[in-house]
Amino acid sequence: MISIKSDREIELMKIAGKVNYLTHLEVAKHLKVGITTKELNDIAHKFILQNDCKPSFLGYEGYPASICISINDEVVHGIPGRRKIKNGDVVSIDIGVEYKGYHSDSANTYIVGTAPKEVKDLVENTKKSLYEGLSAIKSGAKISDIGSKIESFANKCNLGVVRELVGHGVGTSVHEDPDVPNYYTKDSRVLKEGMVIAVEPMLNLGTRHIYMEEDEWTIKTEDGLPSAHFEHTVLVTKDGYVILTGE
């Protein structure tokens, strides 16, 4: 069942989204060569608590940290630790924030220092693919239009679309109905005003295929080439959408 949020719920989700966005800014400020991913995690954790919110991911299905940090060939769900950021790293930061029982979910990918043009293009085009997908959103549009747009844009850029992980509804849980895949499906359900969904393309420079690390969280590309991930939580409106995890 896809929930329709009340005005009150939307107000709470806007706050969860705003704090999520501000946490991203705070982490980005400290993202430099030499800092460890655990230090970045702790900066996010503290900032979220200071803003009367909770980190949604901590303890989610046993996840052991407050945010996910996935570097280079890591696609998503990298666990922060002692690893230091290096020049040229492609760093995806994924943050979930809960305010009074309501969640927001958002991811950004950064290049630290210098990287080859094809890697810069990967990151830029993954971000563009998110906005391509979002452009399909309005009341009455098919949920599957989002994935079709992302997939065709990724194909044009010759990037691999990860299929095993998908976007999702967001509300009293980080993951709610519906699934929002980043590729074409036959799902004929339509979006309605008041739905809140997270759209989150994960695009790979090489193969779309992935595997899970021994830590049972970190997802990596099969060929070792880099991957990028961008995600916003958005509210569906009559004519379009409002990004809850932006400015």
Stretch that binds ligand MF3, among 46-54, 55-63, 141-149, 181-189 (CB under 6 A): 55-63
Rounded Cα–Cα distance for residues 181 and 72 (Å): 22
Rounded Cα–Cα distance for residues 161 and 200 (Å): 11
Structure-block tokens of residue 130: 């998110």
Binding residues for ligand MF3 restricted to 98-127, rule: CB under 6 A: 105
Q: What is the DSSP string of 29-82?
A: HH--TT-BHHHHHHHHHHHHHHTT-EETTTTGGG--SSEEEEETTEEE-PPP-S
> Smallest distance from the beta carbon of 114 to ligand MF3, in angstroms?
28
**Is the dihedral angle over the CA atoms 171, 175, 177, 179 positive or is it negative?**
positive
Please give the single-letter amino acid code of residue 119. V
Q: Does 130 bind ligand MF3 (CB under 6 A)?
A: no
Backbone φ and ψ of 154, nearest 5°: -60, -40
> Smallest distance from the beta carbon of 126 to Co ion, in angstroms?
14
When the beta carbons of 57 and 241 are compared against ligand MF3, the nearer one is 57
Of the candidates 111, 123, 198, 210, which one interacts with Co ion according to CB under 5 A? Answer: 198
**Binds 57, which of ligand MF3, Co ion, none (CB < 5 to 8 A, cut-off by type)?**
ligand MF3
When the beta carbons of 12 and 198 are compared against Co ion, the nearer one is 198
Q: Does 176 bind Co ion (CB under 5 A)?
A: no
Q: Does 181 bind ligand MF3 (CB under 6 A)?
A: no
Q: Which residues bind to ligand MF3, rule: CB under 6 A?
A: 57, 60-61, 63, 68, 77, 94, 96, 105, 174, 198, 200, 231
